[in-house]
Chains A and B, each alone.
Chain A
Amino acid sequence: MNAPPNTQPLPKFMAPLACALVLLALLQFVGRTTWMLLPPGVLAIGAFFPLSRLPGVFFLSLPLSLMLETTGKGPEEMLDALLSPMGFRNVGEPALVDMQVEDIFSLLLWLSIAAAWIHGFRELAHLALAKADPFPGPKGRKGPSPLPRAMPVAADQRRSVTIGVLCLGAGILVVVILQAASLSEEVSYAAILRARLATLGGGGVLVLLSVRALTGYLHWRAMPALEAGLVAQEGAWREGAREFTALDRWLTWARLGARRRAERQWNQLTRRRKKP
């Protein structure tokens, strides 16, 4: 349990690689160009580099590959375009990886992509834990964490992560489908966008406030005595700062004034005093 981190064996590299291969296979149904090879390529190249930056790069490579895929132009076409200045052929072509809300196969596919995405990141985050310290700490610390670790095995929570991602994805899909169904066909995309932003932003704020209120109440119930004293002190100070402390300020003024006078008199006395 308390083994030093350098002797703790790293988890196997097979799990993220399997995730990447599944992702690659899934993306073959929607992808047309070779941009989809980018995330597994990142994984393959990352095996030769320090693991500290790999989760972030992998995370960046997924939407980047999808974005490049939507252009319909792979590296070969881009090379062609570079070689022949007149080679713009696929401009304006509809996106190939767009999600079709009506198509159940498309929904499942995107859900799987999201699950593979988070799973891959999760495995990489576990791998990077030994190299890059994820804990925030005070400034002035040098070197990696010297503390002994008893970290959970990455494979323990795969099932719960999958269930979590599927639930989240299904919830978001329901919201998207409801938004699409509530608006008629003639409505412009700007109206849909506004409705989505309002739903997402408002929902996010609602969740944040409700969770903060609930956990704030729980914390208030379990508050230690010193902190409770501070809360009571602050409440009393806010209520009485205006009325009660006015007198204190004037008293402070009087005290400091008397002290300055005394100092001035003392200085005058010592200056005027003649040595015998």
Chain B
Amino acid sequence: MLTARGWWWLFHSAWATGVGLLFRLEGISFLGLVAMAWLLAAWVRLRLCTAGFPRVVSLTRTLSDRGGSLRMLRAGRQTRVRVALRLSGRLAWPLVRMEDRVPDDGMWTEVIKHPGWWPGVEGTLAPGGELSAEWNLDFPLPGIARFEGLRLTVMDRLGLVANVLFLRDGTECPVLPAGATADGEGTGLKRANLMPPPGGHRLRKAGGSSEILDIREYRPGDSPRWVAWKLSARRDRVLVKEFENEVPVHCQVIVDATGPVRRWRPGGSALCRLSMAAAEILEACDELRDPVGMIITTERDAVVERPNRGGRHRLRLLQRLAMESAMPPDQPPVDEDPLPLFEPAGRLAMEIYPELYGSSEVLLGWNRLLLGPGRPGFSRHGGWTGWIFRNRGYIWLAPPLVLLLAYVMASPWLCLAASWSGPALWVITRLLTVQHTLRLRERKRLASVLAARQGGDPALVDAFLEDDTLLATRLRAFLAEHRRDRLLPVPAPPPLTTFSRARAERMARAVRAAVANARDPECHFLLTDSTDLPNRIEVLTAAARLVRSRRHQLVIVLDEGLERAGERELIAAMARLGVPVLLTRPGLASGEVGRLVASVRRLAGRIA
């Protein structure tokens, strides 16, 4: 393609050549021809040096932070990305702009200063040479960092012709939810944590050791044997001895990963915050050397990780949380017009798949556009021009009808008009429906890219061309996969519910499963948000009552949504059962949840 500078070059050399040839000024026409030949030579050279793409280049990407190279990122921690491009072709690339696409949900640290730009470098690339760029990546929320690739703009030395290429990378790194910072104060509940030997007798209650850990006020329910009589007499109030807990407390973190929690809101989805809170709970339990398990409930199933200890187990849990946080909510099929999605989807496709979306292969042939799609066509084209567009195949009926009319009326003029009626109507129809033609062309490009992403089924292209609901659903999924659906209007809910809304039942079932598989003593953490839960509060209350009846501890971590409907009722109902509810919100300080959980467990006394 010609750059702006190249178009000016072509314009000036063209008019110099034209004037020179027209007025027989050999010198000026010679100058114009030399300039045009220079442009042509630059174009040929650029085509040749980029012809073997992407085989002629190779890409190396390294991630690092202060501690060295990385394979997994941490949310909220800055990462240094280094990307190097090596040219193995025979022809040098005279001018290159190499830009690295920032992963979705990630942030280039200098993007505020340079809106619209990607990090990169500009320079020249000799055969066997290397061009490298370094930039800082910030990932505020857990998920998966997918590096799509590099956008390469190659130009000749004068900047007259350019070629825009995209070198696909596809490297994926999990972004683990960051726990509390390591410099937090310890919980001070344990000095030792002895696992019973296999077949050994386990203590019925925690905290039954002989080592005194602390002295505290008497609380109703404390055993009289724990009262520190002498100290109480000296202080004139009842004090009890708190013993060390030598028994590991099995912790189960139950994370709600259903659709409403995954929905994106300003500041991140609730699931991202719950994952951060779960990571802090994992860290707090790890500090106490308690085995931790996890149950993640989704719309389809529940993933169960049995309680265990150790670094590999914790890493597996964190990776699972990162994967769940990265997935957008399921979008049920909605009957809607896909036209408003064309523009953002086209922009995204041009950004990520320029070789597919910009290819001339995927354009609808002009012959098909002129003749029109076969009957019947179901894609919605509104208005009277849309009606004409949909029914333009009936134009062929016009000449015989006019001919019939001419026969009936015995009119030679109508007989003459019969031969012209077809072409004339065709031209009028084309002019009236040009917007629908262009829309169909755009639709064909998007359909081809979507079908190629899903394996290259040619029948799928036709299905996308015909079925509005299918295309709109897939376009929404494509945009959601790359986090571009956030500014789109939410479609109307489907008339018939196609997925379960029984979130409270799912939560209660997960809690009951955790209790059923429990080995005393046990502590359960339920992480969810308050959307729709208070409507079915009795289900959750029953589950919480079951937990308390087994003398387990239950802590609910509730994400504060934008609409806090029923939050108070839930907190009050849980307070009656003695279940503490912790609230998280956007902007909560790192480690706050971990500290709250530790203090709750300390207050719980007997269990911790």
Binding site for B on A (CB under 8 A): 1-2, 55-56, 59-60, 62-63, 66-67, 70, 95, 97-101, 110, 113-114, 117-118, 121-122, 125, 129, 134-138, 140-143, 145-152, 157, 164-165, 168-169, 171-173, 176, 189, 193, 196-197, 200, 204, 207, 211-212, 214-215, 218-219, 221-222, 224, 226-227, 229-234, 236-238, 240-242, 244-246, 248-250, 252-253, 256, 263
Contacts and interface: CB of A to CB of B under 8 A. Distances in A.
Given A141-B117, A146-B113, A233-B448, A165 B34 contact: yes
Interface stretch (B36-44, B70-78, B225-233, B574-582): B36-44
Contacts of A196: 21
Nearest to B157: A157
Counting from the closest, the 6 A-B pairs by CB-CB distance are A134-B159, A150-B123, A218-B51, A99-B26, A141-B116, A237-B458
A110 B366 CA distance: 46
Contacts of B19: 63, 67
Interface stretch (B8-16, B257-265, B471-479): B8-16
B574 to A, nearest CB: 36
Contact of B121 (A147, A164, A172, A230): A147
A30 B452 CA distance: 62
A215 B351 CA distance: 23
Interface string B145-170: 00000000101011100101000100
Contacts of B356: 226-227, 230
B184 interface: no
A98 B51 contact: no
A125 to B, nearest CB: 5
B434 interface: no
Interface in B453-491: 453, 455-459, 461-463, 466-467
Contacts, number: 252
B459 A245 contact: yes
State the majority secondary structure of interface residues on A.
Answer: helix
A127 to B, nearest CB: 12
Interface of B: 1, 3-5, 8-9, 12, 15-16, 19, 21-22, 24-28, 30-35, 37-38, 40-41, 43-44, 47-48, 50-56, 94-95, 97, 99, 110, 113-117, 119-124, 131, 133-134, 153, 155, 157-159, 162, 164, 168, 351, 353, 355-356, 359, 361-362, 365, 368, 374-378, 448-449, 451-453, 455-459, 461-463, 466-467, 495
Given A55-B5, A140-B115, A211-B43, 15 more contacts: A56-B8, A63-B31, A63-B32, A125-B159, A136-B153, A142-B116, A146-B114, A148-B121, A176-B30, A189-B24, A226-B353, A233-B457, A236-B458, A240-B458, A242-B374
B57 to A, nearest CB: 10
Contacts of A236: 458
B54 A222 contact: yes
20 contacts: A67-B19, A99-B26, A121-B158, A122-B157, A138-B116, A145-B122, A148-B122, A150-B123, A150-B124, A164-B38, A168-B34, A168-B41, A222-B51, A227-B355, A230-B449, A233-B448, A233-B458, A237-B448, A244-B459, A253-B378
A172 B27 contact: no
Given A172-B33, A221-B52, A222-B52, A248 B462 contact: yes
Contacts of A100: 26
Nearest to A253: B376
Contacts of B52: 218-219, 221-222
A91 to B, nearest CB: 15
Given A99-B30, A248-B463, A252-B467, A230 B110 contact: no
Given A55-B5, A227-B359, A136 B30 contact: no
